[in-house]
Amino acid sequence: MRLLSLLCLFCLLAALLSGCGGHIISRDQEIQMGRQSADQFERENGGRGRDPALVALTQRLAARITPVAQPPDYPYDIRVLDNKVVNAVAFPGGRLYLYRGLIETFDRNPDQLAWVLSHEVSHISRRHATKIIERQLGYQAIISLLLNKGDAPQIAGAVANLMLLGYSRDEELEADRYGLIYTHAAGYDPTAAIGVLKKFQELQGREPSKFEIMFATHPGDNTRIDAVQGYLKAQGWSGAYYRPDGG
Ligand SMILES: [Zn+2]
């Protein structure tokens, strides 16, 4: 184990010095770390949602969205979280949760959920989720987590908390934009994003306690709506093909 630790430290050092694509945490490590953290998060936050209709809807969305989010080729694993909070969360390497409360709040609307899911997928594909760990956790913590050492559960919990709180404003705006790109490429209506953002604003004012991560850290003003509208206009995605029934 000691030799492995030394090797690991050497790898980190080499990555820092040489760049190694500029990533401290490799793709395989992202996947391993993300799974460990997500497993613990899932156990502590209501467990995996098993409602067949919600699971089927989520899998349909995932099957269309994840292929257009490549590269990099992450093993996406998109699950329902049996939790009534209106939220979604993405872990490094491909694990992602749509909360039951989120799916119900949007009346299972595929276009609106496609954008939310695409937004979260882009936090993974753009490495935002991993960058939080690289920014916030010390190397020793990363090594401990990767080596499954004694304090790994504690660190896995810390990672989960970072996932809920840590994106920068720029990362959120980028995830909004990539969310539109993926939504469109997957054949859903990207203009549905406007309705999602307006709904979140409404919820934020009305039920602050029900309203956690995904949007608590997002700007409360119209910055995101304006940015999304600007991008839709620039792309000529006017919503002319909008299907009121969600398709
Ligand atoms: Zn986000």
Residue ranges near ligand 1 (ion) with Cβ within 5 Å: 172, 175
* pLDDT at residue 19, rounded to an integer: 42
* pLDDT at residue 20, rounded to an integer: 44
Please give the distance, rounded to the nearest whole angstrom, from the Cα atom of residue 167 to the centre of ligand 1.
7
Helix (H) or strand (E) holding 79: strand 77-81
Please give the distance, rounded to the nearest whole angstrom, from the Cα atom of residue 145 to the centre of ligand 1.
24
Please give the distance, rounded to the nearest whole angstrom, from the Cα atom of residue 174 to the centre of ligand 1.
9
Please give the distance, rounded to the nearest whole angstrom, from the Cα atom of residue 129 to the centre of ligand 1.
10
Q: Are 80 and 100 in contact (CB under 8 A)?
A: yes
* pLDDT at residue 57, rounded to an integer: 98
Q: What is the pLDDT of residues 148-207, one digit of tens each?
A: 666 777 777 778 777 776 788 889 899 999 999 999 999 999 999 999 988 888 887 776
* pLDDT at residue 214, rounded to an integer: 54
Task: Give, in order, the Cα–Cα distances in Å from 124 to each of 14, 172, 185, 205, 219.
Answer: 24, 12, 17, 29, 21
Taking the model in full, what pTM does it have? 0.83
d(CA 43, CA 46): 6
Q: Are 136 and 142 in contact (CB under 8 A)?
A: no
Please give the distance, rounded to the nearest whole angstrom, from the Cα atom of residue 246 to the centre of ligand 1.
23
Please give the distance, rounded to the nearest whole angstrom, from the Cα atom of residue 122 to the centre of ligand 1.
9
Q: With a cut of 50, list the residues of the chain below it in pLDDT.
A: 1, 3, 13-21, 211-212, 217, 219, 242, 244-247
d(CA 15, CA 74): 21
Q: Are 115 and 237 in contact (CB under 8 A)?
A: no
Q: Please count the residues of the chain.
A: 247
Domain ranges of the chain: 2-235
Residue 21 corresponds to which amino acid?
Answer: G
Question: β-strand 77-81 against 88-90: which pairing, if any?
Answer: unpaired
Please give the distance, rounded to the nearest whole angstrom, from the Cα atom of residue 25 to the centre of ligand 1.
21
Please give the distance, rounded to the nearest whole angstrom, from the Cα atom of residue 85 to the centre of ligand 1.
16
In three-state secondary structure terms, 78 is strand
Complete DSSP assignment for 172-205? HHHHHHHHHHHHHHTTS-TTHHHHHHHHHHHHHH
